[in-house]
Structure formats: C-alpha cells, structure tokens
Amino acid sequence: MRPPLRIAILECDTPPDVVREQFGAYDKIFETLLHAAADSLEQPDVISSKRGLELSAFNMVQGTTYPDLDSIDAVLISGSKHDSFADTPWILRLVEFTKTLLAQDGIRIIGVCFGQQIIGRAAGVKVGRSDKGWEIAVLPMELSAKGKEIFQQDTLSIHQMHRDVVFEYPEGVEALGSSPKCNVQAMYKKGKFISVQGHPEFNEQIMTRLVKMRHGQGIFTDDLAKDALERAGNHHDGPRHLSDGKVYAITFSRPPPPPLVHDTDETCSVGRHGVILDAGSSGTRVHIYRWLNTDKARAKADQAQLHSLPVIETDKKWTKKIHPGISTFGDKPHDIGPDHLAELLSHALKYVPLEDVPNTPLFLLATAGMRILPPTQQKAVLAEVCDFARKTTQFQLPDCAVHVQVIPGETEGLYGWIAANYLLGGFDNPQDHDHGKGHHTYGFLDMGGASAQIAFAPNATEAEKHANDLTLLRLRSIDGAPMEYKVFVTTWLGFGVNQARQRYVKALLDSYPGNMVLPDPCLPSGLKVTKEGKPIKDGSHEHQGKEPLLIGTGKFSECMHRSYPLLEKEKECLDAPCLLNGQHVPAIDFDVNHFVGVSEYWHTTHEVFKKGHKDKAYDFKTYQQQVDKFCSQTWKDIEKGVAKQKWGHKVDESTAVEVCFKASWLINVLHDGIGVPRVGIEPLKGSKNTTKAMIDKAQDKGFLDPFQAVNKIKGVELSWTLGKMVLYAASEVSAPSTDALTVGFGSNVPGIPDDFQVPGGSYISSSDDGDDHWHDRLFSENPRRIPGFLIFVLIICLACFMLCGRERRKNTFQKMFRLFGRGAGRRGHGSLRRRRGFAGKLFGIGTAPAYERVLESGEGADDFQLGSLDGSSDNDHSDSSDGSRIGRTSGWATPQLKTSHDPGTPTHFDSGRDVVAQGVGLGLVSPAGFPNAIDRGGLMARTDSRERLAAGKKSRASSPSRLRSPMTSLKE
C-alpha cells in the first residue's frame, strides 16, 4: 500500500469572524481546495479526499512549532494581512524555515499571496508595498509560455486581495503570469515550488465579506469597494485550475515513481490488452483497451457473436490526458521521457496486469502537432519515445516504425470510420442497419483546429466509378471470416476551425486596407479583440492605434455570408466531383450515407449550448435558432451569462468569444460544403429528429438522419484510437486457411497492395496467452526478434572471450577449430562441410565456401585446398561491390586488407611482405609469431579479391590470386 501524501499547512493569519464563522480557519479553507484537487486526479484508490492525503496545520503567528521535515512531503504557506517584508520575529523565523526548504530537494512548496512573497524574500529578491495600489476581487492574469503550458489557457482569472508584491523573479525561477499592477503574479521552479499572488481558495462569498469589512474599516474607498463587489461574482479559475490534477501533481507530488510500478488492486481483469498514446497538438492521452483471446472468445460466443468483430472494452478511469503535446519537445527530445511519458506509462501499468505487460502492444500515434515539426526533430522525438518506453517498461514494442509514428490525416480518418461503425453496429449486424440500396455503414466526420476529415463508403455506383480513389480495408470476425470494405477518406488541410479563423481574419484585413478598427460580424456586439482574438490591454499597440483591432457587430447572418468564401468552392476541380478546395470526393448519396461528426462538430453544437437542448440531437433549424439567439446579444450580457453559467460550466469567456465564428464555419462546411441536407427545413425521406436516447440505441435502430453529432455511444467515447485497436484485435484472429488475406488497409487493388499497412497483431493461441514458458514464446510473436537475439549471443561470447588472457584466447581458438574440423590434419572440404552446423553458421563458417585463411609456408600449408566455388555468387566481388561483406570474416579482430593487384603496387600478399609482422603492429600476435600457420588460429584473414578463381582450380599458400568467398548467411 502506498504511503499517504503529507502536506503541512502553515497558517500565517486567522480569517476574520465574518469568514471563519461559515468557512472555518485557513486550514479548513485549504483543506477544501486540496481535497478537490486530489479528487480531480480520479485515482480514488491511490489518493482522494478520503484516502491517501494527510493534512496537518501549524499556526505561524502564535506558535513556534514547525513541521518535522522527515514527516512531510509538501508545505503550503497561506496568505496573511501582515507585511511579508517586516522584521517581526515570527516572520523572520518563517523566512529562515523557507530558506531551509528551498535548499533541499524532497519537499515541495506552494505559496499563496503572502506565501509567495515569503518565498521571494527567502530566495533573495525584494518584496514590499506596490505604488500601483490594491488588486481586489476577480482580475485576469496574462500567462507566460510556461503558464500556458501548466494552466492550458492564455489568461487566468483569480481572486486578488493585496497591495504587497514580489518586485522581481529570483534567479532560476520561471515566470507564470503578470498583471498591469503586478509583474510577478505567479512563479515556478521545477522540483521546488509554485506560487501565486492571488487567492485560489477564495470564492464570491469570502471575497464579498472581506471587501465589505475592509470598506467599513476605511481601508477601501467607496469606489474601490464598489468596483470590487461588482467583480466578486465573476467567473474565476481558482477551483477550476489551481485544484486541477495537473497543477496539483506539479506542485505537491513526490518525484514520479519508476514506470514499472504496479498496483495489482487496480488492474483490469483477465484478457488481452492494448495501450495507445494519442499524441495530439495540445496534449497526449493514454487509452487502454481489453479484449478476449480469440480461442477463448470463440469458446464463449454464440452463433451471432461468432460473426462479429472482437469485443473491445475500455473504461473512463483507464484514460488519462496530460499537457502539453509532444511536439513541444522538438528542441529537447531527451526530456520527453521523464517529463511526459513517465506519467502516462505509469498510468497504463496501473491497469494492465504485470504478467500481461510483455504481451501488451504499446502504440504512440502522433497527429496534428507533430506533422508540422521539421523532419529531424520529428525523428528525434519519436526515437526518444521508443527508447524510453523500451528501457522503462516491458510493453510489446517489436517495431518502432509501426508502433511509434506520425500518422497522416487520412489514416486518422479511417480509424475514426472503423470506430464509428464498430460502436454503432454497422459491421456486426448489417441486416439491422439497412439504409437502403444494400448500404449498412455510417460515414465519419471529424474537425479539429487545423484540418477536417471525411470517411465514408460510397454507394455501389460511386464505388465502381471511383474505385481507384478508395482505400481497401480488411477485418476479420471472431470465426475467422473476412470482412472487406472500400472506403473513401480525405483530409482538408487548413479547414479546421482555428486555421479557418486565421484565413477569415486575413480576408477581413484585406477588405479594410489601412483601417485600424475592423467591424467583425462573427464577434458579439461591443467586444474588442486583437487580430489573434485576445482582449485589448491598456497601453498595447491596438489600444494606441498602432495595430488594427476587431470590434464585434453581432450579425450572425452576415458572419455566415463572410465565412462562406473560405470553403473555396470556386477552385478548379481537376477530378470531378469535388466538394471543398477543389479536392475530389465521390458523390455522396444521403439517402444511404448517414454521417456522425465528432470533435468540433460535437463541441460546437452540443457542449456550448448544452442547457439549450441537452436531450436533442443536431438539426439545422434548432441549432441555428440557438446560435442566432446567443450571437445577437451584447458582449456585456454574454459576460454576465457566462459568470452565472447560463450555458453550462464549460462555456467560459474564451469559448464565448470563439463560438459564433465556429458555428458559422461548421454550418457552412456541413451544408454548403459537404452538402448535408438541412434537417428541420428541407424535407427528407424518412427523416426523424433523432434524440439522445436514439443515439444510445443506434446499434438497434440506426441513424435515420443524414448527420448527427456524437461524443459517446453507449457510454464509450468515439475516438479514432478505438478504431486502431479494433483493427489490431481483428489481426489477432486466426485465419481460416493459409490462403486467407491479411488484416489491414491499403490501395484498392486485388490481393495485397504494395502500400498495404498491417496493424501489427498476429494469432496467439489460448495456451500462449498465459503462463507458458519463455522459450515457447520468444520468437513466435515476432520473428524480428531473432536477429536481435543472435546479436545478443554474439556480444556475450565476444565479451567473455576478450576478458580472457592472450594465452587462453589462443588455446580457445585451437580447441574451437579442432571442434569444427580445422587443424585436425589433412581433410578435404567435404569433411569440413559435414562438421558445419548451427555453431558454424553462428561464428561465420557456412556450408557454402567461406573466407579461407592465408597460409604461410609451413606444415599443412601446401596440402590445404580451397573448396569449389559457385561462379554465380553475387558477393564474390571487391569491397566496392554492393554485396561486399567487409569485415565479416571468421577472425575476431581482423584488419580490412585491400587486395588490389595493380602491378605497380605491392599487395598485402606479395613476396617480401611479412604478414605476421603486420599482425604484430596491430597487436594481434606476439612478435615471436606462432609455431606454424595452423597455430595462428586464423587471426589474419583476407577480404574479397577482385579476381574469380577458375572452377576447380587449386590454390596454394603463396598464390596472389586466391579468392575469398563470402560468409554464408545465417538464414542458410
């Protein structure tokens, strides 16, 4: 059982009675915050508000007791009404204690307001009263690059109650954020501390009572108090982010445990497992999937289940996402392991049983962010991912080129199509999903920030007409029956919502050349933002009129009109038909092609307006009514609605700024771009206004409308990673015959096309899926392991050999070659071949002619004969030949000797050249040489000669034309 996380709360003040009566002292207030943070980690059996968290409190003002450093893991220094720069004895003691904490590595610190100032003072920088006055109630903090990485947004709104500040950042400390009145709003030092000038523990009630009390005491003026009270109820990110699991882990967690730590109480039950790391642009999410071994599934399946794909299971707690994306490690790839992967792999190892890890495939498949990295950085990051995973875990990673890669948008779209049809039931029960004309699968639409994808199986007429444009997909049901589909997949780069917005703003700037204020109908009325969509700051170039700014007019119909040209439908279509950007797409028959949309299709249609129609699926009429109603409001009204969570807790101010453009773009892409009929306006054959309940029953009823936005189906997230794992599990199903075609996808041609991609799985019998011996499984799952195993054996042999002394090495050589037939007297080559077996191949002695030794005149030299040569060998050329095997001779330390026979240049084997003396110079033999040629044990060997030896010709020791044949292959 893991020890609890022990946090000491240093109380530097006592809240006034008006606060303490309802919320308690600071230990109670922070306990609420820390418990929320622990619960947000979603690891209830490891740490939560009920388990694994041990809090203690120490009164710094009235007491003299400090926590024992051996009994705590972290310290939280609270806020205070006292001056952090005062020389009061208890403050001086606190500063010294903080210095002690900063000097060690085991205990982390978090500072809040006064606590941040104490950390700054202990770190040697100036703290004191700011001449800019008070910061009170909810105010925005502009985040630095590191702050954005940690908090995952550009600004942070948090309660403030201070006029004392840290004036500068200590050496080695990273800035997290700033505000107009306080340059040092938050600080961070890896492995040491994180601090904020604001109060994440405050809420509207606490702030309101403090402001009223201090106004009554004359500390705050009327205007100051009025302004603060108006903002006290504004949305703030204290509970949302500073109790977030990511920030919590950065701040309080002990150094992360080695990845190979298992908690057997948490593991999944028996079955095959697969782990996929979805490496997106903003972060990486780990997914764990489980399914039954094929033989076991067959034994348990009824007749209907036998004709279905393997049943894949997952669970919400098996999934975990961290930030930022792996593309941010492009210039520091060596940090990706400990700083990024360790947390994800540890999470996976928590749920995959320890004994199953070696048979569990691990994939890291990168998408948007990695696609834009330079190739050298991309390669370095992927190599580091594979290397770290192999060193720290035993997950199955036989081929990094397959398991760790950047996948194109088309592959991502195909995986999404597989996942959608798997969850909806289009694969397993086609008779229950008859859309007409023999069609039973669903189309898939995905829209991210940079690109959009479409994947669907055209109707029979279009499939035949555009056969060359389709991707051939092969799956396999549990009974081994093949399942083949022909799918069209394409990606529209630059058509994601963020890229579309950038193109929109550029067009807006071109429409108003020279103007500094540009009316934007896609922004709420009265809202002013920069070209990048950020708020206008006092003193900024936009505020001073040096850079153009956008001002919202709130006219959604005009917004639709202005965003329509971004579809680029006017581009020349070289291969008709086309939809967007002049890109070819087979004609879509919406009578039979019913689509589901994920990502932005879901977020923008449902999550933003969740309270408006939470139980209703997408239809054009309802959706446009909701968008018109929202976007016609003034920005001030929207701000008030956001603060009161009128549209749900997921709609914050940054979402509200973007949603009108996103909605217009989505509507244009769906209806004017792709051509989806407008449900609710255009009459459709058999159309139904599908409800959420019907979506959940899609396996039984199917979608009857041409488009529905979805997030989960039967409680399972529709993610492309699921599609990848379905494909992998299908590849583990045993084929009904040796003629059965492989599971995977590629060009739509008969057989196995050249570009066919296999998912990486292979059949594993039920006896293999357990505790059988290692020698039964070593090479069965992946034959690529064999060369690595042999190389490992060779390295061990070489290491042992080199550790021996010179005399022992000589004796070993003599014994080895007597064993293999060398030095045993006069033997013909036939006898030598009979002695060559696996050991001979392992050490370079094959059944075909091998490199022969150079024999000086001496005993046995004149009688030694070369074996016959096959004149058709591809590898009997010089070392410049492609087939040359330079250095791969049977000697352990053989120099590479060129055998040029230019008459004007002495060769290594010309008379007068002392070969043994050359060996002495290389440290291969003693100056005394060997008693005879045989005793030298072949330490001098020759590389290929440029001449061929005539068939049947015998060669003597002094012949300059002797030919060396290459070593035989290990595969022989």
Active site residues: 412
Could you tell me what percentage of the chain is helix, strand and coil, using 3-state DSSP and rounding each to the nearest 5?
Answer: 35, 15, 45
Contacts of 496-499 with CB under 8 Å at 24 or more apart are 496/447, 496/448, 496/449, 496/450, 496/451, 496/452, 496/600, 497/447, 497/448, 497/449, 497/600, 497/604, 497/658, 497/661, 497/662, 497/665, 497/666, 498/449, 498/450, 499/449, 499/450, 499/451
What are the residues whose beta carbons fall under 8 Å from the beta carbon of 285, sequence distance 6 or more?
A: 277, 278, 319, 320, 321, 721
Tell how many helices (H) and how many strands (E) occur in the chain.
32, 28
Instruction: Yes or no: say if 760 and 743 are a contact pair by the CB < 8 Å rule.
Output: no
Consult the annotation and say whether 452 binds a ligand: yes
Distance CA 165, CA 168 (A): 9
**Token digits of residue 293:** 């071994």
Reduced to 3 states (helix: H, G, I; strand: E, B; else coil), residue 93 is helix
Consult the annotation and say whether 453 binds a ligand: yes
**Cα–Cα distances in angstroms (integers) from residue 528 to residues 230, 505, 560, 663, 664, in the given order:** 21, 14, 20, 19, 19
Distance CA 336, CA 392 (A): 13
Residue showing tokens 């550009």: 154
Reduced to 3 states (helix: H, G, I; strand: E, B; else coil), residue 635 is helix
What are the residues whose beta carbons fall under 8 Å from the beta carbon of 86, sequence distance 6 or more?
A: none
Distance CA 612, CA 829 (A): 90
Distance CA 461, CA 467 (A): 10
What are the residues whose beta carbons fall under 8 Å from the beta carbon of 969, sequence distance 6 or more?
A: 846
Q: How many residues does the chain have?
A: 972
What are the residues whose beta carbons fall under 8 Å from the beta carbon of 68, sequence distance 6 or more?
A: none
Strands 182-189 and 155-162: unpaired
Handedness of CA 564, 568, 573, 575 (dihedral sign): negative
Consult the annotation and say whether 831 binds a ligand: no
Distance CA 932, CA 860 (A): 9
The answer to whether the peptide bond before residue 324 is cis (omega within 30 degrees of 0) is: yes
Q: What is residue 368's DSSP assignment?
A: H
**Cα–Cα distances in angstroms (integers) from residue 190 to residues 91, 105, 151, in the given order:** 25, 10, 15
**Cα–Cα distances in angstroms (integers) from residue 80 to residues 15, 83, 176, in the given order:** 9, 8, 22
Q: How far is CA 708 from the centre of its chain?
A: 28
Strands 362-366 and 272-279: parallel
Distance CA 426, CA 104 (A): 59
Q: What is residue 465's DSSP assignment?
A: H
In the chain, how long is the greatest CA-to-CA distance? 116
Instruction: Yes or no: say if 394 and 430 are a contact pair by the CB < 8 Å rule.
Output: no
**Token digits of residue 45:** 């059996």
Comparing CA positions, the residue from 28, 33, 8 lying closest to residue 94 is 8
Distance CA 692, CA 670 (A): 20
Strand partners, 456: 488
- Name the binding residues: 449-453
- Name the binding residues for ATP: 449-453
